[in-house]
Amino acid sequence: MGPVGDAQLTDLAAATKVAEGGQGTVFRLTRPAGTLLKLYHREVAVLAVELARLIELPAREAVATRTAWPSGRVFDRGRCVGLLMPEAPDRFTTTIAGRRRLLELQFLLYPRRAMWAELPLPTDDERRVLAAGYVELFRELHRHDVVLGDVSMRNLLWTLSGGPGVFAIDCDGFRVAGRPPAVRPADTAGWVDPAGPREITLDTDRYKLALLTLRILLANHRVTPEDVRGHPLLHGRLGPPLALLAARAAIPGSRPTAECWLGALS
């Protein structure tokens, strides 16, 4: 979905609530089909100018099929109160315990639970393909000087339906490197750069990319580059090229680019 421009909240079609998070509530609009409205909680500050900048970024074209990139701002009485975005394709959903669920990253990183018993999980080879898919997403964003900032198990989706594929939601936290985000993102616990609080940069993004890649390949929600550096068993499971990149990722300023990870994964 390309940019659709600004909309007034009162002009939008009827909507059905589908999710609620820390920043806002998500509704499915009856029209246009496949469009979601994210309505921010009243206390959330929105930089409307930065949201417009994000919507118009050239990076949107490069990742259009792999992200729920914001497509328009929503205003109410002169204040930006939300955004429009495409819904994740059906293949990134599943049914668990009779309820439709997004195929969130968490299903790849934790031991299988009883309620997930019938959920097909990827083979080792499929995990490499999924990891490469996320790396390619980071690569395209970084090529356009866009940083993701927050990485969590809830905003990255995956699928095996129709072949391994990946998709990102909650993209309003993305921003141009060096510029503020449209909406202040969370820094998800367990996905924080150990170098300490500082500006979100391509280097901090590369650390989170290392976490993401290693955790998918090792099916472990807690493993870090620092763990791999001193663990022969993990070295053996990853193989020398990936283990070397993990060691580099533990050093701020030396973290491998997405291109490096793609080379090792192939």
Q: Give the Cα separation of 227 and 234 in Å (integer).
A: 8
- Least Cα distance to 9 among 86, 73, 87, 55 occurs for 73
Question: What is residue 264's predicted lDDT score, i.e. its pLDDT?
Answer: 97
Residues 166-187 pLDDT 10s = 999 999 999 998 899 999 877 8
> Could you tell me which of 41, 31, 42 has the C-alpha nearest to residue 84?
31
The per-residue pLDDT for 2 is 58
Q: What is the pLDDT of residues 188-232, one digit of tens each?
A: 889 999 987 667 899 999 999 999 999 999 999 999 999 998 788
Write the CB contacts of 175 (distance below 8 Å, at least 6 apart in sequence): 50, 54, 146, 147, 149, 181, 182, 200
Phi, psi (rounded to 5 degrees) for 113: -105, 160
pLDDT in tens, the chain (266 residues): 556 679 999 999 878 999 998 899 999 999 888 999 999 999 999 999 999 999 999 999 999 999 999 999 999 999 999 999 999 999 999 998 888 999 999 999 999 888 888 899 999 999 999 999 999 999 999 999 999 989 989 999 999 999 999 999 999 999 998 899 999 877 888 999 998 766 789 999 999 999 999 999 999 999 999 999 878 889 899 999 999 999 999 999 999 999 999 999 98
Q: Name the average pLDDT for the chain.
A: 93
What does CATH list as the number for 90-265? 1.10.510.10
Q: What one-character DSSP code corresponds to residue 155?
A: S
Annotate 55-82 with DSSP letters as a single string. Answer: HH-THHHHTTTTB----EEEEETTEEEE
- Closest by CA position to 193, among listed 183, 203, 184: 203
Specify the pLDDT at position 135: 98
Specify the pLDDT at position 109.
96
Structural fold of domain 7-86: Phosphorylase Kinase; domain 1 (3.30.200)
**CB 192 within 8 Å of CB 205:** no
The residues spanned by each domain of the chain are: 7-86, 90-265
Let me know if 134 is exposed, middle or buried by CB neighbors in 10 A (0-12, 13-18, 19+). Answer: buried
Beta bridge partners of 222: none
* Residue position matching structure tokens 């293949």: 91
Q: What is the pLDDT of residue 8?
A: 96
Tell me, rounded to whole angstroms, the distance of Cα 170 from its chain centroid: 7
